[in-house]
Amino acid sequence: MFMKIAFICPYYDPAIDGPKQVIKELSRRLVNDNHEVHIYTSDSDKYKRIMIKEEVIDDVYVHRCYSWFKVANFVTFWPSVFLNY
């Protein structure tokens, strides 16, 4: 059975982040099972803004949403994730 699966996480590649690594591994396994995986994340890598907003990494669709500001090293405010569906 084919499913479309979405993950929402604060950071994704190239950022170094623990939850990102778990989602990346889960996504890889789901793609290997012929599912379509989309990841919605902020456009921040903790230090700078990532300019590429839509890309495919290892057959996983990555959608980077505009982040308004960063509160700490691990908190980014990006409400535009609710507009991307």
pLDDT tens readout for residues 28-81: 999 999 999 999 888 877 777 778 889 999 999 999 888 776 666 666 666 766
Q: Using a cut of 0.75, tell me whether the model's pTM lies above it.
A: yes
The phi and psi torsions of 69 (rounded to 5 degrees) equal -160, 165
Two tokens at 1? 């059975």
pLDDT at 17: 76
